[in-house]
């Protein structure tokens, strides 16, 4: 009985069914802008992959209207797409079709600066008419193309889905492999149907990547990874053998790295959008640009020419791939690894800002593509993720100051500095440092600045600037004339090396995602003079928990007040059960009592 009911639901939606589903839907999603009453996908094989999609969306408010009224249907390389139905469904069940004048063929925005690789990719934008909150949108289309029977589906999005159905009819005689989470399976003759309700992903600071939260279905009929990657490997290694790229800049590894990551311009394109074949090396030379696949090819070629053992590595920057389902669609990055000084060094040739060996998603499993087969490897990074900031200030008796700010970033923090400053002109840098001085303390002037290693492929970047400003110390006088000077210690103004996990939420829905171990230090050193001495300093204290450690340490020695704030994060996540403690512990870095210094005149207030 249940199977029959399910079977009835799983029929391609007829006009009556759409109306019925829409009419009888009872939805209560106060946080959503719309709800997908149904999203159906059907995968089958007709000598090529065939996909049929239908979706019925109910608009809940104006945000939903704006978000969904223009729906894109993407036509990928070599695909044929046909839209079968598109209409607005009013609350009274009247249908208003999308007219021809409301269908536009546009270049997908991410292809806007992409030459060649984006050929054949197009979006059809369907602009639905007369959409009001309470109305529905229906879209149905089919797509053909693709040489392998495989797909990766992560259905979670910004709005909830009452029902998601994915039906798969594998080619006859094939063996389907799959991995699934959060969807229930029902088998029908020859087909597999997974379905379920999918929650919306809520906005939340430091939320884990959607792929870690979403239900998913990954499937493939490929026998194993070797078979799955054979075309890719054949293409790669045959082009490698063919050569056709002359590199004349010597054997210096740093120079080569710069050449690969900077001089050969990266065409920023999601992996596989440009297809599954590589570009001949001669053509890459002619073009001077390449997407991540071709950059990997060029990198391996040139490293081998320099005498290194090198291989391409497929990786996913967000989640570990499901090894039991062999489909390359699981990967979104094309890395390179090469052997140097007894270690394998990994790098992303499409990332021009990371120093060699710095991979921001280390610890994940990557698939090494060798000539005769494949191998799994754990991606490793070289070096740590850390940031340091220091402010050395001279305070005069009126509370004004001069001094120097410095910051250095390693690993992921170095990327931010390089990205920001590498291509700035000198006058732009002047303005940048002027803004940073003002952010340190409003009204502060930037005097001189220095930067180092912004272009270095091996060294992390370093910044320093001299500043001067007013009213770091504010003199307050009591009713009886006693004087104190209050200093509110400023924070690191450089956004790329600041502690990024300052929480604002008392409660969370999702674990707090950190990703990579990292550490921070911020040091404020103030030289006091003019008859002032400290009356109050931040209390030195330390808090630690399951994957973190925070500390504040203050001292006064030889006329210098020094307060050092440190944070060390060693886990990838802060679980919900630990969050409250994490939030309370980190507050020692930010509470007013950790930022405040009170100075007194020697003749005024007595110390406690």
Interface positions, 446-485, toward another protein (CB under 8 A): 446, 470-471, 474, 476-479, 484
At its nearest, how many Å lie between another protein and the CB of residue 225? 34
Strand order in the sheet with 177-181: 150-153, 216-220, 177-181
Instruction: Give the count of beta carbons closer than 10 Å to the beta carbon of residue 505.
Output: 12
- Residue 555 binding another protein, by CB under 8 A: no
Task: For another protein, give the closer residue by CB, 158 or 572.
Answer: 158
**DSSP, residue by residue, 489-521:** PPPP--TTTS-------SS-SSPEE--S-EEEE
The widest CA-to-CA distance across the chain, in whole angstroms, is 95
Task: For another protein, give the closer residue by CB, 33 or 327.
Answer: 33
**How far apart are the C-alpha atoms of 529 and 525, rounded to whole Å?**
13
Task: For another protein, give the closer residue by CB, 51 or 123.
Answer: 123
**How far apart are the C-alpha atoms of 276 and 274, rounded to whole Å?**
7
Task: For another protein, give the closer residue by CB, 202 or 376.
Answer: 202
Of 25-33, 228-236, 302-310, 523-531, the segment contacting another protein by CB under 8 A is: 25-33
Give Cα separations from 429 to 231, 426, 449, 491 (angstroms). 48, 5, 9, 21
Task: For another protein, give the closer residue by CB, 23 or 62.
Answer: 62
Total interface residues for another protein by CB under 8 A: 89
**How far apart are the C-alpha atoms of 328 and 320, rounded to whole Å?**
13
- Residue 605 binding another protein, by CB under 8 A: yes
Task: For another protein, give the closer residue by CB, 122 or 153.
Answer: 122
At its nearest, how many Å lie between another protein and the CB of residue 148? 27
In contact, 191 and 52? CB cutoff 8 Å: no
List the one residue from 234, 249, 378, 593 that touches another protein (CB under 8 A): 593
At its nearest, how many Å lie between another protein and the CB of residue 220? 33
Task: For another protein, give the closer residue by CB, 185 or 452.
Answer: 452
**DSSP, residue by residue, 348-377:** -TT-SSSPTT--TTTTSEEEEE-SS-EEEE
Task: For another protein, give the closer residue by CB, 116 or 458.
Answer: 116
**How far apart are the C-alpha atoms of 35 and 29, rounded to whole Å?**
8
**How far apart are the C-alpha atoms of 168 and 170, rounded to whole Å?**
6
Q: Going by C-beta distance under 8 Å and a sequence separation of 6 or more, which residues neighbour residue 21?
A: 13, 37, 38, 56
At its nearest, how many Å lie between another protein and the CB of residue 553? 17
Task: For another protein, give the closer residue by CB, 44 or 456.
Answer: 456
List the one residue from 45, 273, 560, 590 that touches another protein (CB under 8 A): 590
Question: Angle 75-79-82 (CA atoms, 0-180°, nearest 5)?
Answer: 65
At its nearest, how many Å lie between another protein and the CB of residue 531? 19
- Residue 423 binding another protein, by CB under 8 A: yes
Question: Angle 456-462-466 (CA atoms, 0-180°, nearest 5)?
Answer: 140
Quote the DSSP letter at residue 390. Answer: E
List the one residue from 66, 82, 324, 371 that touches another protein (CB under 8 A): 66
At its nearest, how many Å lie between another protein and the CB of residue 316? 27
- Residue 376 binding another protein, by CB under 8 A: no
Task: For another protein, give the closer residue by CB, 107 or 378.
Answer: 107
- Residue 111 binding another protein, by CB under 8 A: yes
Q: Which of residues 30-49 bind another protein (CB under 8 A)?
A: 30-33
3 state SS of 528: coil
Residue among 288, 338, 245, 303 nearest 116 (CA):
288
**How far apart are the C-alpha atoms of 399 and 414, rounded to whole Å?**
34
List the one residue from 163, 305, 397, 439 that touches another protein (CB under 8 A): 439
At its nearest, how many Å lie between another protein and the CB of residue 288? 3
Binding track over 116-135 against another protein, x by CB under 8 A: x--------x-x-xxxx---
Binding track over 288-327 against another protein, x by CB under 8 A: xx--------------------------------------
Residue among 240, 277, 223, 233 nearest 374 (CA):
233
Q: Which of residues 71-110 bind another protein (CB under 8 A)?
A: 99, 101-102, 104-107, 109
Q: Which of residues 176-205 bind another protein (CB under 8 A)?
A: 202-205
At its nearest, how many Å lie between another protein and the CB of residue 314? 27
At its nearest, how many Å lie between another protein and the CB of residue 204? 7
Q: What are phi and psi of 446, to 5 degrees?
A: -95, 130
**How far apart are the C-alpha atoms of 305 and 315, rounded to whole Å?**
24
Q: Which of residues 488-547 bind another protein (CB under 8 A)?
A: 488, 502-506, 535-536
Q: Please, is 61 exposed, middle or buried when counting C-beta atoms within 10 Å of its C-beta (0-12, 13-18, 19+)?
A: middle
End-to-end Cα distance, the chain: 80
């Amino acid at each position: 009985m249940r199977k029959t009911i399910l079977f009835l639901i799983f029929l391609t939606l007829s006009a009556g069914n759409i109306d019925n589903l829409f009419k009888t839907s009872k939805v209560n999603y106060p946080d959503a802008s719309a709800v997908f009453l149904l999203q159906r996908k059907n995968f089958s094989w007709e000598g090529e992959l065939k996909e049929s999609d239908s979706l019925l969306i109910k608009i809940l408010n104006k945000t939903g209207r704006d978000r969904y009224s223009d729906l894109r249907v993407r036509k990928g390389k070599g695909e044929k797409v046909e839209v079968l139905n598109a209409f607005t469904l009013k609350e009274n069940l009247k249908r208003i079709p999308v007219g021809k004048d409301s269908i536009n063929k546009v270049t997908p925005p991410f292809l806007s600066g992409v030459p060649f690789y984006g050929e054949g990719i197009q979006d059809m934008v369907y602009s639905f008419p007369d959409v009001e909150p309470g109305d529905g949108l229906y879209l149905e289309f089919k797509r053909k193309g693709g040489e392998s029977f495989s797909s990766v589906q992560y259905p979670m999005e910004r709005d909830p889905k009452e029902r998601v159905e994915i039906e798969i009819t594998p080619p006859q005689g094939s063996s389907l492999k799959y991995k699934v989470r959060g969807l229930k399976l029902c088998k029908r003759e020859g087909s597999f149907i997974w379905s379920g309700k999918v929650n919306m992903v809520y906005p939340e600071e430091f939320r884990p990547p959607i792929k870690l939260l979403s239900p998913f279905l990954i499937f493939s009929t490929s026998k194993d990874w070797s078979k799955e990657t054979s075309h890719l490997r054949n293409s790669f290694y045959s082009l490698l053998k063919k050569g056709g790229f002359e590199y004349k800049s010597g054997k210096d590894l740093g120079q080569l790295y710069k050449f690969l990551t900077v001089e050969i311009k990266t065409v920023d394109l999601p992996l596989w959008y440009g297809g599954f074949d590589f570009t001949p090396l001669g053509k890459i030379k002619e073009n001077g640009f390449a997407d991540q696949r071709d950059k990997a090819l060029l990198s391996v070629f040139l490293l081998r020419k320099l005498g290194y053992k090198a291989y391409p590595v497929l990786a996913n920057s967000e989640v570990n791939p499901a090894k039991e389902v062999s489909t390359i669609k699981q990967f979104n990055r094309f890395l390179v690894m090469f052997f140097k000084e007894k270690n394998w060094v990994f790098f992303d040739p499409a990332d021009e800002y990371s120093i060699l060996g710095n991979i921001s998603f280390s610890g994940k499993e990557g698939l090494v593509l060798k000539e005769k087969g494949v191998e799994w490897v754990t991606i490793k990074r070289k070096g740590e993720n850390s940031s340091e900031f220091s402010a050395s200030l001279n305070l005069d008796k009126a509370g004004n100051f001069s001094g120097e700010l410095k910051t250095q970033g390693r690993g992921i923090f170095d990327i931010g500095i390089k990205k920001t400053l590498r291509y700035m002109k000198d006058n732009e840098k002047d303005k940048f440092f002027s803004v940073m001085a003002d952010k340190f303390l409003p009204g502060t002037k930037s005097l001189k600045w220095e930067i180092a290693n912004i272009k270095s492929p091996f060294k992390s970047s370093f910044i320093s600037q001299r500043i001067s400003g007013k009213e770091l110390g504010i003199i307050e006088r009591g009713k009886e004339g006693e004087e104190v000077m209050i200093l509110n210690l400023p924070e690191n103004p450089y956004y790329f090396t600041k502690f990024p996990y300052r929480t604002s939420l008392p409660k969370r829905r999702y674990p707090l995602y950190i990703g990579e171990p990292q550490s921070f230090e911020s040091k404020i050193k103030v030289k006091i003079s003019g008859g002032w001495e400290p009356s109050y300093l931040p209390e030195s204290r330390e808090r630690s928990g399951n994957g973190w450690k925070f500390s504040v340490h203050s001292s006064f020695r030889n006329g210098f007040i020094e307060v050092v704030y440190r944070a060390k994060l060693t886990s990838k996540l802060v679980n919900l059960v630990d969050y409250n403690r994490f939030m309370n512990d980190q507050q020692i870095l930010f509470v007013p009592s950790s930022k405040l210094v009170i100075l007194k005149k020697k003749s005024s207030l007595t110390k406690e």
